[in-house]
Structure 1
Amino acid sequence: MSQKQINRYVVIQKSLEGLLTVKEAAKVLGLSERQVIRLRKGVMESGVSALIHKNKGRKPSHAVSDELKGKIISLKLSDTYKDANFKHFNELLERFHSIKLSYSTIYNILTSTGIKSPKKRRRFKPHTRRKRKPQMGLLVQMDSSPFDWLGIGCNYSIHGAIDDATGKVLGLYMTKNECLQGYFEVARFMFQNFGIPVSIYSDRHAIFLSPKASKLSIEDQLEGKVCNDTQFSRAMKELGITIITARSPQAKGRIERLWNTLQSRLPIEFKLAGIKTIDEANEFLKKYVFELNNMFSVEPLSNEPAFRPLSNDIDLDSILCVKEKRKVDNGGVFSFYGKHFKVVQKDNQPPIPTRTTINVFINSLAGVQVEYKGIVYETEVFVKPKKSSNDAVKKEKNTYRPPEDHYYKYGRNLVKPIIYDESDQEILSMLEEIFLGKDSFVDRYKNLG
């Protein structure tokens, strides 16, 4: 018996002996008078055992069986689930093994055997959080995260975008490194599935902001000097999107927390889906975006979104691309990054005048295109014909070699090499001039002979 049960038995016994009234015993034990009367009756009939709960030593009917506990523990220790955090593991048990238990039950089962979650929780630090935007589409945070997503010992970068108001993931795309193409594809997915946002919040990477922007002084800005837009900022400006650059990772904490979630979940999801290549991962991410939103997104303050719909007159291929200017020659050919391309003119397209400056578009989907006065032309690779080789025997190059009696060489073979221990180059040069220079000791030696 516990000390509490012993104390209760002593008070009940005194009540039975008449030393305490029922009301006084109830006040001492902190129980109702009705409960004291019931305990008095039980002690009179069964003795001290009446104070022990009847379910002591019995397993509850709704308790998890030892067999199911063992199965859950063995699954968690397997190679497939060993890196999953407890919350994710709870979801995977229900999805793949039809084991539906509460998170607290799974937590108690695993921690009782000494298993710890791989996702550590840091101590709470009070800080002021920036309020979410009231409308979906007012602010979109963009970033990239390098990580061993495929579990092959090689870091790849996933580019992502998340809405500030709802926490919805608006696009994910994997490439080998953080690059312009990755952000273009995330933007394309966002425009096609959600719309065009008002602004984008990013870091100060050279993809978003020119490195020369920080070098402009206040005087330069007052004079109206500006830096050229990057390819990404130029594309967003054409769509009417404002780019805001952050000066610290904490400023765009929503997408930084998204990377913590994805780094804990995605490698296991990729392993379960048998994904081993970047192309397979990108196909998987197109559907996984909506699964994440169902689990983690919240409702905005305003139900009216700020996204603008993507109209049919907007050609994303001519916007989400690299644009540069070139000039065409008499045959409509221009050079671009060491290769030559020829403009392909269709029947309903006007010809491009000779020596005209054109806009060259290049992207991974449409290839190389040309734009002139709002009309987009296709191109094809042009190989210039090689010049015919001259079969005539080429004259051998005669390299002039001065004779041995030349005054720069004169006497070098006649005089024994000088060995001088002094390392000073000036002294060595002086001795060489004296002994091997023109009209030197050698000349005098020949005259004496």
Structure 2
Amino acid sequence: MSQKQLNRYTVISQLIEGNLTTRDAAESLGLSERQVKRLKKGVREKGPAFLIHKNTGRKPVHAFSDDLVEEIIALRKSETYKDSNFLHFQELLKEHEGIKISYKPLYNILTNAGFNSPKKRRKIKAHHRRKRKAQEGLLIQIDATPFNWFGDKQIYALHGAIDDATGKIVGLYLTKNECLQGYFEVTRQILLNYGIPTSIYSDKHTIFRSPKADKISLEEQLAGKVINDTQFGRAMNELGITLIPAQSPQAKGRVERLWDTLQSRLPVEFKIAGITNIHEANQFLLSYIPKFNENFAVEPANSKVAYTPLREDLFIDNILCFKQIRTIDNGGVFSFKGRHFQPVSNGHTAYIPPKSLVEVLISPVFGVRVKYKKAVYEVVPFIKPKKTKTPTPAKEKSTYRPPAHHYYKYGHELWPKLSFAESNSEILQMLEEIFLKKDA
């Protein structure tokens, strides 16, 4: 008998002996008087065995078979699944092994077998949590995280963006390190799949915000001094997106929590899919994003979408790129990074007036282009002919001789006495004596 059953037997025995009333026994056991009367009758007729449940020691009909439990434990020990957390392991069992099991029994099986979930549990600190935005597309949180995604001790940076209203991933892109191109590719996914969001929430990385922005004084601002946008900031301005800098990592907590989830799940997903490099990973992420959103995204408070559809005349490749101003020379050529380029149109040299300012567009997507007014031209490399230098006869070296009125002419007999050991005060005193004697 369990301790609870023993306690019941003691109380019912006291009731049978007349030491307790039915009401007192019911209050003591937390049961109704009707239930106490039933237990009293059963103990009188069958003894203490009546208090033992009939299923005690019997295996439930719906219990998992020993073979299934051993299979689950063996899979959890395998190289493929050993790094997954319990919830992710439950999803992987259903997706790849055809084993459908609820989280609680799976948790009991794994903990009884001595497994601990690799998902770290930190003590939750009480803090005010900002409410989600009401509409999808009102605010996108963007960030990057370095991590060992392939288990080869090589760190790569995953760039990502998450919608504040729904918790939906709207872009993921992996590069060797945190860079402008990574954020441009994430933005490209947002624009092509959803449209133009109202605002983007980022940290104060120099990709988003010039380090000089915090150093400009109020007087300089009133005098009209401005800080130029970064390349990313300039692109957001062209798209009409408001770029909001966060004051702390906690302020953009939704994307920070996303990194915890992806760092736990993606390495396992990559291992199952046999992915070991960035190119394969970026292809995989395009199909992984919808699957992730199906599990974790929530419905917004307002079903109306705040994304602005892309206009047909808006070429995002010419916006999500690096831009600089250059000048066309008399030969219709401009230079950039030590190289020369010539604008072309339909296979022929494009005419741009000499001394005109043009905008050079650089991107891994299309290479180099040039924009003049509203027209964008392709470019071809141009090799300028080298200038032939005619040798000039060597000039005879002439010795400089100071004029007669130079101060060196006065008191020159004192200069040989000067040495590096003399102090500055002694040198100054000597020069004063020379100049004073000269003036006299």
Query: Structure 2 CA distance, aligned partners of 1:289 and 1:372?
Result: 39
Please report how far the alpha carbon of residue 141 of structure 1 lies from its aligned counterpart in structure 2 after TM superposition: 1.0
Query: Structure 2 CA distance, aligned partners of 1:207 and 1:119?
Result: 31
Question: Which structure 2 residues correspond to residues 8-407 of structure 1 after superposition, within 5 A?
Answer: 8-10=8-10, 12=12, 29-346=29-346, 351-385=351-385
Query: Structure 1 CA distance, aligned partners of 2:156 and 2:309?
Result: 32
Seen in structure 2, the aligned counterparts of structure 1 residues 316 and 10 have a Cα distance that, compared at 3 Å, is closer
Instruction: Mark the runs of 5 or more structure 1 residues left unpaired by the alignment.
Output: 401-424, 428-449
Report the AA paired with residue 288 of structure 1. Answer: Y
Please report how far the alpha carbon of residue 340 of structure 1 lies from its aligned counterpart in structure 2 after TM superposition: 1.7
Report the AA paired with residue 109 of structure 2. Answer: I
Query: Structure 2 CA distance, aligned partners of 1:248 and 1:261?
Result: 20
Report the AA paired with residue 314 of structure 1. Answer: L
Deviations 1:342-369 (A, max 9, x none): 2112289962122322111111111111
User: SS of the residue aligned with 2:343?
Assistant: strand
CA contact (8 A) 2:332 2:352 kept: yes
Please report how far the alpha carbon of residue 247 of structure 1 lies from its aligned counterpart in structure 2 after TM superposition: 2.2
Query: Structure 2 CA distance, aligned partners of 1:14 and 1:329?
Result: 110
CA contact (8 A) 2:344 2:350 kept: no
RMSD of aligned alpha carbons: 2.8
Please report how far the alpha carbon of residue 40 of structure 1 lies from its aligned counterpart in structure 2 after TM superposition: 4.6
Aligned to 1:419: none
TM-score (norm 2): 0.83
Query: Structure 2 CA distance, aligned partners of 1:325 and 1:14?
Result: 98
Seen in structure 2, the aligned counterparts of structure 1 residues 356 and 106 have a Cα distance that, compared at 3 Å, is same
User: SS of the residue aligned with 1:377?
Assistant: strand
User: SS of the residue aligned with 1:299?
Assistant: coil
Seen in structure 2, the aligned counterparts of structure 1 residues 47 and 313 have a Cα distance that, compared at 3 Å, is same
CA contact (8 A) 2:235 2:320 kept: yes
Please report how far the alpha carbon of residue 282 of structure 1 lies from its aligned counterpart in structure 2 after TM superposition: 0.8
Query: Structure 1 CA distance, aligned partners of 2:219 and 2:189?
Result: 41
Seen in structure 2, the aligned counterparts of structure 1 residues 18 and 147 have a Cα distance that, compared at 3 Å, is closer
Please report how far the alpha carbon of residue 218 of structure 1 lies from its aligned counterpart in structure 2 after TM superposition: 1.1
Report the AA paired with residue 229 of structure 1. Answer: D
CA contact (8 A) 2:136 2:166 kept: yes
CA contact (8 A) 2:325 2:359 kept: yes
Report the AA paired with residue 186 of structure 1. Answer: V
Query: Structure 2 CA distance, aligned partners of 1:287 and 1:6?
Result: 59
Report the AA paired with residue 53 of structure 2. Answer: H
Aligned to 1:411: none
User: SS of the residue aligned with 1:308?
Assistant: coil
Instruction: Mark the runs of 5 or more structure 2 residues left unpaired by the alignment.
Output: 398-419, 423-440
User: SS of the residue aligned with 2:262?
Assistant: helix
Please report how far the alpha carbon of residue 66 of structure 1 lies from its aligned counterpart in structure 2 after TM superposition: 2.1
Aligned to 1:420: none
Deviations 1:223-262 (A, max 9, x none): 1211111111111101111111112111111111111111
Query: Structure 2 CA distance, aligned partners of 1:297 and 1:64?
Result: 32
Report the AA paired with residue 97 of structure 1. Answer: E
Seen in structure 2, the aligned counterparts of structure 1 residues 246 and 347 have a Cα distance that, compared at 3 Å, is same
Query: Structure 1 CA distance, aligned partners of 2:24 and 2:185?
Result: 78
Query: Structure 1 CA distance, aligned partners of 2:168 and 2:277?
Result: 26
Query: Structure 1 CA distance, aligned partners of 2:209 and 2:196?
Result: 20
Please report how far the alpha carbon of residue 46 of structure 1 lies from its aligned counterpart in structure 2 after TM superposition: 3.4
Query: Structure 2 CA distance, aligned partners of 1:317 and 1:288?
Result: 24
Query: Structure 2 CA distance, aligned partners of 1:221 and 1:23?
Result: 83
User: SS of the residue aligned with 1:162?
Assistant: strand
Please report how far the alpha carbon of residue 41 of structure 1 lies from its aligned counterpart in structure 2 after TM superposition: 4.6
Deviations 1:300-334 (A, max 9, x none): 11111111001111011111111111122333222
Query: Structure 1 CA distance, aligned partners of 2:308 and 2:348?
Result: 32
Identical amino acids, percent of aligned pairs: 59
Please report how far the alpha carbon of residue 175 of structure 1 lies from its aligned counterpart in structure 2 after TM superposition: 0.7
Seen in structure 2, the aligned counterparts of structure 1 residues 6 and 263 have a Cα distance that, compared at 3 Å, is closer
Query: Structure 1 CA distance, aligned partners of 2:349 and 2:374?
Result: 11
Query: Structure 1 CA distance, aligned partners of 2:28 and 2:216?
Result: 81
Query: Structure 2 CA distance, aligned partners of 1:285 and 1:103?
Result: 26
Aligned to 1:438: none
Report the AA paired with residue 373 of structure 2. Answer: K
Seen in structure 2, the aligned counterparts of structure 1 residues 7 and 281 have a Cα distance that, compared at 3 Å, is closer
Please report how far the alpha carbon of residue 388 of structure 1 lies from its aligned counterpart in structure 2 after TM superposition: 8.3
Please report how far the alpha carbon of residue 39 of structure 1 lies from its aligned counterpart in structure 2 after TM superposition: 3.7
Please report how far the alpha carbon of residue 25 of structure 1 lies from its aligned counterpart in structure 2 after TM superposition: 5.8
Aligned to 2:406: none
Report the AA paired with residue 118 of structure 1. Answer: P
Please report how far the alpha carbon of residue 128 of structure 1 lies from its aligned counterpart in structure 2 after TM superposition: 0.4
Deviations 1:25-81 (A, max 9, x none): 656655445444544554454333222211111111111222222221221122211
User: SS of the residue aligned with 1:341?
Assistant: strand
User: SS of the residue aligned with 1:221?
Assistant: helix
Query: Structure 2 CA distance, aligned partners of 1:342 and 1:266?
Result: 45
Seen in structure 2, the aligned counterparts of structure 1 residues 43 and 188 have a Cα distance that, compared at 3 Å, is same
Deviations 1:364-418 (A, max 9, x none): 111111111211111112234567899xxx9xx9xx9xxxxxxxxxxxxxxxxxx
Query: Structure 2 CA distance, aligned partners of 1:8 and 1:362?
Result: 82
Please report how far the alpha carbon of residue 9 of structure 1 lies from its aligned counterpart in structure 2 after TM superposition: 3.8
CA contact (8 A) 2:167 2:254 kept: yes
Seen in structure 2, the aligned counterparts of structure 1 residues 32 and 364 have a Cα distance that, compared at 3 Å, is same
